[in-house]
Amino acid sequence: MSDLPSYLESVAKTIDRMIDRDFVDKAGELNKASAHLLAAGGKRLRPAVVMLSADAVTPGSSDEILQAALALEVTHTFTLIHDDIMDDDRMRRGVPTVHTKWDMPTGILAGDVLYARAFEHICMTNSKDDAKVRAVKMLARACADICEGQHMDMSFEHRSDVTEGEYLEMVRMKTGVLYAAAAGIGAVLGGGNVMQVKALYNFGLNTGIAFQIQDDLIDLLTPAEKSGKDQASDLREGKQTLIMIKAREKGLDLKKYQKDLSPAEINAAIKELTDAGVLDEVQKIASDLVADSNRHLSILPPSKERQLLMDVGEFFITRSY
């Protein structure tokens, strides 16, 4: 994975420059609210997937579709703004959330602005018109699925019987489809054929699901000073993650952890889940998804970009924050 960190850093710098130019420097309070979270940083992983997918089907084509790479980051940020409103989160990426810094109506409108502008930026790419139409359709479908996935996730809060299949379907829609759209849109705008687009779409879908599963593991295992998030918040809140579902299948009672937890209590929970084999099972599901993703990529010609995409999948399930 030696080339991936430098590649991701390069993409992040490019996207950051575009954000500064196209969003941060816009006048008006609503524009400032829309740019607030975009400018707060981020790994810019979805734009990287767009660009790698384009270059994997047509080397050098990513330069012509940078606006689409930006569009995927803008879409992702729109979902974060609205998620923060629904969860009433106060901080995101080390800054106050949009609805906290301004107010809830402004937060809703700021997310709506980003949603609309994402489609505008796809249409600004130097691609064929029919490819742009296909890309817009793919992003629109993804946005509808994300909303449905978020609604499913919220409905799980009132249940204690969520199945593994239901969880994976929720994650597919809430997280997987945007990575699928990133890879598929990159392939479409880069001039890929039908089989290449399908392969890259499925690659993005599977790795996106694996990404979320790893996020659930990070929530439990990574200390707050490293992750920037409250450790074991899912456990404390009784959230229906794959960890919780697998633990229930094995007869573990995690309700005793649904309270303010000390570091010692978090470590005790981790040990209990490790000893029962829960964490290994969850990790294997994520690993299997990435392995399947790599099989989809086998129809692409060998290239540096194809290898980097495989490295992205591996990074998704080995990162610790």
pLDDT at 184 over 60: yes
Residue 228 has pLDDT above 60, yes or no: yes
pLDDT given for residue 99 in this prediction: 97
pLDDT tens column, 101-146: 999 999 999 999 999 999 999 999 999 999 999 999 999 999 999 9
The enclosing H or E element of 96 equals: strand 95-96
Estimate the share of the chain in helix, then strand, then coil, as percent rounded to the nearest 5.
75, 0, 20
Residue listed under structure tokens 């990426």: 93
Both tokens of 10, joined, read: 């390069």
Strand partners, 167: none
Q: Give the whole-number percent of the chain exceeding pLDDT 90.
A: 88
State which residues form the domain around 191. Answer: 4-318
* 1 has a pLDDT exceeding 50: no
Rounded Cα–Cα distance for residues 221 and 215 (Å): 10
Average pLDDT, the chain: 95
Residue 253 DSSP class:
-
Q: Which among 172, 108, 177 is positioned nearest to 139, based on CA atoms?
A: 177
User: Using one digit for the tens of pLDDT, what is the confidence trace for 235-261?
Assistant: 998 899 999 999 999 999 899 999 999
CA–CA gap between residue 63 and residue 200 (Å, rounded):
19
pLDDT at 54 over 70: yes
The residue among 321 and 177 whose pLDDT is bigger is 177
User: In 193-227, which positions are buried (b, 16+ CB within 10 angstroms) versus exposed (e)?
Assistant: eeebbebbbbbbbbbbbbbbbbbbbbbbbbeeeee
DSSP 21-35: IIIIT--SHHHHHHH
What's the pTM? 0.94
What is the reported pLDDT for 15? 98
CA distance 228 to 216: 14
pLDDT digits (tens, 9 = 90+) for 21-49: 999 988 899 999 999 999 998 999 999 99
Q: What is the pLDDT of residue 2?
A: 63
**CA separation for the pair 277, 63 (Å, rounded):** 46
CA distances from 246 to 19, 134, 253, 259, 285 (A): 41, 39, 11, 20, 11
Q: Which residue has the tokens 């699925």?
A: 145
| The total number of structural domains that make up the chain | 1
**CATH number of the domain within which 52 lies:** 1.10.600.10
Tokens, residue 284: 């294997």
Tell whether the model's pLDDT for residue 208 goes beyond 80: yes
Structure confidence at residue 92 (pLDDT):
86
pLDDT (tens digit, 9 = 90+) per residue, 64-85?
999 999 999 999 999 999 999 9
